[in-house]
A and B are shown apart, each in its own frame.
Chain A
Amino acid sequence: MAEQPVRQSALGAARATQGPHAAACLRALPAASRFSFRGSPPEAETAGVAFGVPFSLQSCRAHQTEDRAALWLGPDEWLLLAPEDAARAVQAALIRALGERPYALIGIAHRNTALEISGPRATMVLNAGCPLDLHTSRFPVGMCTRTILGKAEIILWRTASEVFHIDVWRTFAPYVWDFLIEARARL
């Protein structure tokens, strides 16, 4: 009988490690549980309590605790992030809390993968392909949104003044990684 399958990251080993860099560091983030929560504000409020992180009702804002985060992606859509081993617990808690109320909870742990870019020139690297104004006055810490990087769609979330979390569909992740490495080399 075959062995238990092992998760293989979409970024692969070749792209997951990068040494320190004065302008911007890139690293693949560890596997996580991810859900797309869809529903109206009342359901979102209940779900936030069950999840342990309130869902932002303000557009383009994320809330987080130490190991969980809820990112506003649309007026009825939030991306939930939690540790890899918390998937069943999260699912169970939300199902229990919401009962028969209308909502959708979809597991997307494998659809997306995440990487992080940090450093004094991280915004400049991102702006090689992202058309948004990333000045802290326009894109403050805690802001999150779907947007474009080059020819890929990404979710961009500023977790600290010089740190950005990028969530991206798995098949676009190598492109995003290579694009950022290329952009960093051309500063």
Chain B
Amino acid sequence: MTGPFRTEIGGRIDRTRRIDFRFDGRLYSGHPGDNLASALLSHGVHLLGRSFKYHRPRGVLGAGSEEPNALVRVGSYESRATPNLRATQVEIHDLLVAESQNRYPSLSFDVGAINDVLSPLFPAGFYYKTFMWPAWGWRRLYEPIIRRMAGLGRAPTAPDADIYAQRYVHCDVLVVGAGPAGLAAARAAAQGGARVLLCDEQSEFGGSLLSEPDTTEAGRNRLAWRAATLATLAASDNVTLLTRSTAFGVFADNFVALVERVTDHLANPEPALPRERLWQVRARQVVLATGAIERPMVFAGNDRPGVMLAGAARTYLHRYGVRTGRRIVLATSADSAYGVAMDLHRAGLTIAAIADVRNEASGPLAAAARAAGLPLRTSTHIAATHGRLRIRGATLARNGTGAREKVACDLLLMSGGYTPTVHLYSQARGTLRFDESLGAFLPGGDTGILQVAGACRGIFATDVAIADGAEAGTVAAARTDPGGAPQPVRTISVPDSGALLAREAPCDRRAFVDFQNDVTTKDLRLAVREGFVSVEHVKRYTTAGMATDQGKTSNINALALVANERRMDMAAVGLTTFRMPYTPVTFGTLAGAARGNLFDPIRQTPIHAWAEDRGAVFEDVGMWKRARYFPAARETMAQAVARECRAVRTGAGLFDASTLGKIEVVGPDAAIFLERMYVNNFRKLAVGRARYGLMLGEDGFVLDDGVIGRLAPDRFHVTTTTGGAPRVLAMMEDYLQTEWPDLRVWLTSTTEEWAVVSIQGPRARDIIAPFVIGIDLAPQAFPHMAVAEGTILGVNLRIFRVSFTGECGFEINVPADYGSDVWHAIMQQGTVFGLTPYGTEAMHVLRAEKGYIIVGQESDGTATPDDLGLGWAIGRGKSDFVGKRSLARAAMRDPSRKQLVGLLTSNGETVLQEGAQIVTAANGNASIGHVTSAYFSTTLGRSMALAMISGGKARMGEKLLAPMLDRTHEVTVAPAMFYDPKGERLYG
């Protein structure tokens, strides 16, 4: 059934098709082209929501993205539901299910409305003042209750089932807004040869052209001009047209973020289509044609359902064919209201009264209204409104005299003039100026890469806006082609307008300024009286201009009140900062494809698949997946780690060390460069030998470590920690490129070139020797810290004799694509020797038994080499290296610095918590250090820990205390070396 308030003809809707949708469980009908608000209004439904704080019944205020009241939840499944959508922007389709918000049990009967009766108790900042006592009350009592009572929509509880996409796009000219000025700008820019992108937040292009009568002041047919312009644009190869796309953020250098709503308006979208797409646009020139938003009038009871912006009523009439009421009162301070009054009058609606607060209503529009016999009253304001779920009447009062008159109506339209939509201009750091005649802030001018056109800069007449847009488009296109003809310039200036800003509004607890946050004139006055001077503070104290609409309809009225209260100019009061997003953006859009397995790259070593087959448990190390342990059937982690450690100590273990960072340092000055970067000596390192390298920051603290092998006089193979690889390479490049550009040396990351198979244990040599060709692995020929190149199984090999376990060990580097097969072959060969794969957990235990540090675990960015017991690594006689000067500071040699020691618990079983603080028996309140690593060691048959303890080296044998959650444990300080202190196994 067609809604009873639908006009017989006209509008942009397709009356031949009917759409059925649900709102609050009831079935309604509408037509293609309708949004939720227009379809409901066609059935006379004005009540769409309850207000934030007082639960007052609220209707539709506007007709676009500025709507503060009519917020709905859309979607019947939690996984696809979206709260707080503006009914004025939700297009209807046959499967649309929408619900009103913030009401219980129903929209027409809401128990929360008790807050409205109690509203004198809830002035601005009431919760800061009221809920002070008892101290625990806020978290446990008040906040939960307030959260339940006040608020907007409910966040969905299920993971978002929709798909989102993102796209970067580049253009010469981006035009934001496709009203008359935007369309003209896009056409002119395209004719100038530019690559043009035109976007508009609405479902079709046209902006105000769709909302106003057929012909303009100059006699132009609006829709015919729109159609012709769009046809030209559609036929141009260099133009991209984007409807349902909101430019919500402008960033440096004309980087503009748009969100395109791809499928929300469709009942059955293609499953592969994303719901929304983020367009990240880089434009050489931007033209903002974002239009203007009408201001409400501020009077008591200005928020009842049936109170609406005048321009919105006109939009519903012309664009949607909907009469928003039958008998109308208009409250205005601007000439534009008379145009609306004439439109509605012609459409057969009764104009019961026009109350203009100004002393005079001049201009052609007011004259026309007078001529048509419309009941115009100047110097008149609205003193009160009547009705509960819908307005029934208004009391008009003569300014100053107190003469009152009650007028019955079912629609009250407000027009306080128009506020240019300068949000994006302001985000682009354009400066604003206050224009008294418009009662609005206007863009100060052109930034050189961004221009403003049409209503957005105060040019409201359609014909002038079209001319203004065309000029902006021409200028933008010309600027992208600096070699072209003389640069055109803008010639149109902003005219005066007859709007009066409602600075003198009644102080009333029901005269709403911000509808979305229930902020009244009384709240704002209170805030100023209580000493909030800055508008930013007033905003935060009263919440005016917050939440999903960010004060689109309320900001200027709120500022005017503050200015009036403080007896200041608007310009001096200033504006709150415009921040992105212009309208709310879903998290899905911002995340795009970065979910699930595309959240981050998942870096897997060449041996990953083997480990996965073997049932390895993985851990994340940065983006890498590393095998943590390899549980056999029914083994716990502790059992698996104990077995893996035993295998390394008694036979042999195989470890995937492919994630280790690798840098190839090549060039005639390679050794000199490494000497400067590392604390160690490298010039004297022989070819075929390797050395433990320690890298400091310039502040003298340990940054990274690794093994560095010399393959040739001018070629080194450097390893870094897994996590430190990019940082180390960047730091090396920094010194090389900017401090020592004279050095002839080049750095190349080879982390991913080599798969690294580390074999450790007394049987390691026996297992690999048969495979290795061209290298004698005998202990004398290939001792600890030797390196050589040869082949293994016919592929290139770089082999290091190194150990991170304290056992005899080899790190076998092979080209990564061969890593899996080489690992497999060694595993097969090693079976008879009990070769066991081990993971990072066993690796940690084995190295801790030897007191080998892990950078970032034992060290925390404040440890010197001496603190970590690594002073021996510093090359003697070196005049300089990165960090050396800082080590010379007295504080770096303070004997009370935290130093690396071992800790043994008295019971031998308790594994201390990593991070546990250590205290002395004499002073249990002052921490003297902390545990950095703690494990149970199967080899030792007891627990062990490494710790950084103040003056630790001088405390050997001292008893200390480690308070933990269960109880305080006694520990004894020991050397940070629990196993094979003489290194006999290592060198064997």
Contact = CB atoms under 8 A, between A and B. Distances in A.
- Chains A and B share a contact (CB less than 8 Å): yes
A10 B816 contact: yes
Interface in B263-290: 272-274, 277, 280, 282
B597 A5 contact: no
B165 A4 contact: no
A4 B794 contact: yes
Interface in B730-764: 744-746, 748-754
Interface string A99-118: 00011111111111000000
Contacts of B753: 107-111
Contact of A7 (B169, B272, B745, B818): B818
Main secondary structure of the interface of A (DSSP, over half): loop
Nearest to B279: A127
A101 to B, nearest CB: 9
Contacts of A128: 165-168, 593
Contacts of B282: 131, 133
B255 to A, nearest CB: 9
Interface string B345-368: 000000000000000000000000
Interface string A1-15: 111111111100000
B822 interface: yes
Given A5-B818, A39-B746, A135-B170, A178 B597 contact: yes
Name, among B169, B170, B604, B751, the residue most crowded by chain A CB atoms within 10 Å (CB to CB). B170
A186 B816 contact: no
Contacts of B816: 10, 110-111, 170
Contacts, number: 142
A38 B165 contact: no
Given A2-B793, A104-B748, A111-B816, A186 B598 contact: no
Contacts of A107: 753
A92 to B, nearest CB: 15
Nearest to B604: A171
A48 to B, nearest CB: 17
A15 B274 CA distance: 23
B165 A186 contact: yes
Given A106-B664, A110-B817, A175-B601, A5 B594 contact: no
Contact of B598 (A3, A38, A39, A179): A179
A172 B829 contact: no
A106 B604 contact: no
A151 interface: yes
B274 A151 contact: no
Contact of A104 (B600, B606, B624, B746): B746
Given A182-B593, A185-B272, A8 B750 contact: no
Contacts of A129: 166, 168, 593
B668 interface: yes
A71 interface: no
B712 to A, nearest CB: 11
A60 interface: no
Given A6-B821, A104-B667, A106-B664, A130 B752 contact: no
Contacts of B600: 151
Interface in A145-187: 150-152, 169-172, 174-175, 178-179, 182-183, 185-186
B667 to A, nearest CB: 6
A78 to B, nearest CB: 12
Contacts of B617: none
A151 B594 contact: yes
Given A36-B748, A38-B748, A186-B273, A10 B169 contact: no
Given A106-B750, A129-B166, A130-B168, A150 B594 contact: yes
22 contacts: A8-B817, A38-B666, A38-B746, A104-B667, A104-B745, A106-B664, A106-B666, A110-B817, A111-B753, A111-B816, A127-B168, A128-B165, A128-B167, A132-B168, A133-B282, A151-B601, A169-B752, A170-B816, A171-B624, A175-B598, A182-B598, A186-B593
Q: Give the top 8 A-B pairs by smallest Cβ distance, nearest first.
A: A5-B821, A2-B825, A38-B746, A104-B666, A171-B603, A175-B601, A133-B170, A104-B746
Given A10-B606, A104-B745, A106-B666, 15 more contacts: A3-B793, A31-B817, A38-B667, A76-B746, A104-B664, A104-B667, A124-B167, A127-B167, A128-B166, A128-B593, A129-B166, A130-B168, A171-B752, A174-B602, A182-B598
Interface of A: 1-10, 31, 36, 38-39, 76, 102-112, 124, 127-133, 135, 138, 150-152, 169-172, 174-175, 178-179, 182-183, 185-186
